[in-house]
Amino acid sequence: MPSPVSSIPNLGPASEQAFARAGIASAEEIRALGPDEAYRRLLAAGSRPHFIGYYVLVMGLQGRPWHDCKGEEKKALRKRFDTLCAGFNRSDAKLRADMEAMLSFLGVVERS
List the CATH number of the domain containing 39: 1.10.150.20
Q: What one-letter code names the amino acid at 89?
A: N
Burial of 10 (0-12, 13-18, 19+ CB in 10 A): buried
Alpha carbon dihedral 61, 63, 65, 71, in 10-degree steps, equals -70
pLDDT digits (tens), the chain, 112 positions: 999 999 999 999 999 999 999 999 999 999 999 999 999 999 989 888 999 999 999 999 999 999 999 999 999 999 999 999 887 765 555 666 676 777 776 666 555 5
Q: Is 51 part of any domain?
A: yes
Read off the pLDDT of residues 60-85 as tens digits, 9 standing for 90 and up: 999 999 999 999 999 999 999 999 98
Predicted model pTM: 0.78
The reply to whether 60 falls in a domain is yes
Q: What is the DSSP letter of 107?
A: T
Identify the domain containing residue 44 by its residue range: 5-106
Flag whether 111 is in a domain: no
Domain count along the chain? 1
Residue at 56 is within a domain? yes
